[in-house]
Chain A
Amino acid sequence: MSPDAILLGDLGLNAAFLAVVFGAAVIITIVAAGLLIWSTKHPEEGDSHALAKYEKHWVVIILAIFVIFALSTISFLPYPYAHANVHPNLTIDVTGQQFAWTLCDAPYWANASTSLTNPSCFPNSNVTYIPIPVGDTVLFNVTSHDVTHGFGIYQCTDVGCTTAAILDQVQVMPGFYNSILVTFKTAGTYYIRCLEFCGYGHYTMFTQLNVTVTST
């Protein structure tokens, strides 16, 4: 069973939403700065330091903002162990290596050296042909053969893929397996890019992942 929402992005609260929040905060800050400058042009006569008496109110307000922010997002931790009730439809193992990705169907992922030669794997390829039915939740287990990498999944947001947004990401570290759960809600092209500097070829480290409309 696939859950409705694992990540905030499943609710539409992705980078675009965060950009709006940030933009609003910037506008409020600029307005507040303008008011502050204006206030110094109109100093109070008695120097009563009027605003200071609201310090306690302000403390309560910002404390409430941070607590509410943290608590309201806690259900969307991007860690598979935080979603024990979610059972992935598919498991894909991923190995990063300078400067390419290898994706394999499970259960071959347990032996990374085997996976590179396994027919279910797509080593160092620019396109990965693992069929992922729309709506499936996939568990990605990632590791590295050499240095640290970052595994970032980008989702095209239009037909020609002239824009794309981060769907999910996880760090890739040799000697460790990191995991993420991703639900692919729409068919189309996805891209996997390296999100951690891994050497001179870092910027060339990507592959394409196609999600298809198939019956499960």
Chain B
Amino acid sequence: MATVEEVPGNVIPGEPIQNPNEPSGALTPFAKKWIRRLLYLSFLNFIIAGTLALFLRTDQAGNPNIIGPLGTPAVFGQLLLAHGLGMFIGWQFPFAYALTLYAFPKYMGRKIYAEKLIPVVFFLFAIGFYLVWLSAFMGFGPGWYFLTPLWNPAAWSAGATWTATDALIFFGGMMITNASLIVFAYVLFKTAFSSSYKDKYNSSPGMLSTMSARFAAAIGFDAYMPSAVRDRIQGYPIAAIAAVVTTLDMVISAPPFLVLLADGAWVSAGNPAFLNNLVAKNFLWINYHPIVYFAFFPLIGMYYTLIPIFANRKFASSRWAKVPWPMLLISGVGVYSHHLFMDTSQPFSLQIMSESMTMLVSFASGISVFTLFALIWRSHYKWTLTAKFLAASILGWIVGGVIGVEQGNIPTDVYEHNTYAVVSHFHFMGLDGIILAAFGVLYWILPEISGKQWYSKTLGEIHLWGTAIGGFGLAGTFAILGFMGVPRREYAPIQAALPFTQIYYDPLIAALFFALFTAVAQLPFIWNLLKTMQSPTTTKSNMLPELETTVPTPLPTPITRELTPAFSHASMTSNQAAENINLSGTLYTDHGDVNSFTNQAESSLRDSQ
């Protein structure tokens, strides 16, 4: 078997991104089963939360002369909470759990540490999050970012529309949800750092195997070290680095957030608050900003993993692929005070820190985008469905990043803070960046972890273009509204007493149109997923590791896996696999086998259409 360094394929020199040494069975059937369930749960929540957003749109686009708002102002607040947290937590948490739990065995070759805890993570999350949605259903509606003391009915001078019990259920649910995060972090960090694994990350001749060396490798900090040291550190795969960085950010920011939740529960039970309003706002955003990155960072890790495969090219330098990650680790939390730029009572040092951190995260993003751009430029890029999803998502990342930079600068934020420009930013980033990338990854990995071929590639293409057109149209319309100064989170933005609000009507209708367009585009996805789930298992999921012992890389699962019978993993012996691979013309040795396998599958796919 070739060593990593001898492989001229899609790997960073000296970096085990494609992990040729994955021990058989690292991604166990048990892990696959729970990863699958986490993914199904996440996309179920996505569909529900997205549907709720349609009612937000109809409320805002409702014109008294036509249909009128369909909801009520109180329900609008509940929808703000249910939609926002449905996406940021209900969709994102289980997806991030699933992706990171997939990445470690897949790209690092380590079986998940204490994988029996994955069901604990699943059920803690499900119980906690559905309590949050239950609270919204019962009337709790301070919005997805629940500013203190708005959530407290006793603080209202106008009479609250929910009770302290509703608030208590909410805080209880959020705490249980965060408990799932803590269990997950334990599993992930043990997988990343435990000394019990007997592999090259812990014991390679001549290499440093101290905890500090492993930690440096796990956050990509080895890229900053002098070569004499760097060469003695066993680099971690980028997908694993991304998982560690995002989980570290979540854990670092969890304690203050848990204090905030405890304060909320304590007050809801009839006790006096122990946090003042400004500290509470800090404790909220110090966690709520890293939440935004929870799934995004692992997805960036997947960019670094999959795009080299599509481009049939290695990175020019492993350092540039790692350089952004320590920056992202620091700035992931450090940017949080930009949510308080318009609070003049916030200490100035925090404001300047967060403005600088926002520039830093933008800088790191800029490096990543260029690295990926350079990798694709004039390459033999395979525009598979997943590749298209990833490309569209990078567009969302760039455009959302630009408007984010405007909001990350204090003097320019004056004109965009709490307007639809912010909504535009996180829809470009969230819907057009994160969600599109997540769909691409889902199309890529589901066949492997389910053993089922996607039902239809055509439906996948319709899903791609529908979601991209609707998503970019929606976020773009939000940008127009933002630059017009339309405040976010208004039940009825058009007011007869405010003459300048009359021009909001057309863009609000356009936003409704694009929201409906995006929603309709999910129907082929739902159908495709349901038919796929109903289909018989055509690929024995536990056959993959066996195959990989002969083709010594984790197989990048081709989209839709519409393999000919000759390519069915279940029906193919290792020798047959190698023979079929060679038929396609080997591009590279070893890794080339995988690429040719992938490419042959893609060719087969195209031939079938």
Contact B355 A173 (CB under 8 A): no
Q: Is the CB of B411 within 8 A of A51?
A: no
A8–B411 contact, CB under 8 A?
yes
Asked whether B502 is an interface residue with its Cβ less than 8 Å from the other chain, the reply is yes
- Alpha-carbon distance A145/B277, docked complex (angstroms): 13
What's the least CB distance linking B494 to chain A, in Å? 9
**Would A166 and B73 count as touching, CB distance under 8 A?**
no
Residues of B within 8 A of A126 (CB): 497
Find chain B residues with CB under 8 A from A160 CB.
499
Q: Chain A residues with Cβ under 8 A from B158's Cβ?
A: 98-99, 146, 199-201
Interface 9-mer from A84-92, A103-111, A130-138, A147-155:
A147-155
CB of A66 within 8 A of CB of B363, answer: yes
A59 surroundings in chain B (CB, below 8 A): 366-367, 370
Q: Which of B166-174, B202-210, B397-405, B523-531 contacts A (4 or more CB under 8 A)?
A: B397-405
The answer, yes or no, to whether B178 is at the interface (CB within 8 Å) is: no
Comparing B92-100, B179-187, B229-237, B376-384, the segment that makes contact with chain A is B376-384
**Given A42-B378, A79-B348, A195 contacting B483 (CB threshold 8 A):** no
Q: Identify the closest chain A residue to B60 (Cβ).
A: A203
**B491 CB to nearest chain A CB (Å):** 5
Given A29-B399, A147-B150, A156-B500, are A168 and B414 also a contact pair (CB < 8 Å)? yes
Chain B hits for A145, CB < 8 A: 157
Candidates B378, B403, B487; contact of A152 at CB < 8 Å: B487
The answer, yes or no, to whether A177 is at the interface (CB within 8 Å) is yes
A197 touches B373 (CB 8 A): no
A1 at the A/B interface (Cβ < 8 Å)?
no
Interface residues of A in 148-176 (CB under 8 A from B): 148, 150, 152, 154, 156, 160-166, 168-171, 173-176
The DSSP consensus for interface residues of chain A is: mixed
Whole-angstrom distance between the alpha carbons of A124 and B291 in the complex?
A: 38
The verdict on B409 contacting chain A, using a C-beta distance below 8 Å, is yes
A15 to B500, CA, bound (A): 15
Residues from chain A with a CB closer than 8 A to the CB of B50 are: none
User: Looking across the interface, which residue of chain A has its beta carbon closest to that of B493?
Assistant: A203
A188 within 8 A of B: no
Give the contacts of B135-172 with A (CB-CB under 8 A). 141-143, 147-150, 155-158, 160-161
Interface footprint category on B = 35 or more
- Nearest A-chain residue to B372, judged by Cβ: A36
Residue A4 interfacial (CB < 8 Å): no
Find out whether the CB atom of B376 lies under 8 angstroms from the CB atom of A194: no
Stretch with Cβ within 8 A of A (4 or more), from B20-28, B338-346, B536-544: B338-346
**Closest beta carbon of chain A to B489's beta carbon, Å:** 4
User: Which residues of B sit under 8 angstroms from A180, Cβ to Cβ?
Assistant: 344
When the two chains form the complex, which single residue of A69, A81, A148, A156 contacts B150, counting CB atoms closer than 8 Å? A148
Q: Chain B residues near A148 (CB, 8 Å)?
A: 147-150, 277, 281
Contact among B72, B403, B406, B418 for A150, CB-based, below 8 A: B418
B152 and chain A: residue at smallest CB distance: A147
By the criterion CB–CB under 8 Å, are B343 and A52 in contact? no
| Max count, chain A CB within 10 A of own CB: residue among B340, B367, B489 | B489
**Contact for B142 among A70, A175, A197, CB less than 8 A:** A197
30 contacts between A and B (CB under 8 A): A13-B412, A15-B482, A15-B484, A15-B485, A18-B483, A36-B373, A40-B378, A51-B373, A51-B374, A58-B366, A59-B367, A70-B355, A77-B410, A78-B342, A79-B348, A145-B157, A146-B158, A148-B148, A164-B485, A166-B415, A173-B277, A176-B343, A176-B345, A191-B498, A195-B419, A197-B77, A199-B161, A202-B489, A204-B495, A206-B495
B residues neighboring A (CB under 8 Å): 72-74, 76-77, 80, 141-143, 147-150, 155-158, 160-161, 276-278, 281, 313, 315-317, 320, 340, 342-345, 348, 351, 355-356, 359, 362-363, 366-367, 370-371, 373-381, 383, 391, 395, 398-399, 402-403, 405-406, 409-412, 414-419, 421, 479, 482-485, 487-493, 495, 497-500, 502-503
List chain A positions with a Cβ less than 8 A from chain B.
Answer: 7-9, 13-16, 18-19, 21-22, 25-26, 29, 32-33, 36, 39-40, 42-44, 47, 49-55, 58-59, 62-63, 66-67, 69-70, 73-74, 76-81, 97-99, 126, 145-148, 150, 152, 154, 156, 160-166, 168-171, 173-180, 191, 193-204, 206
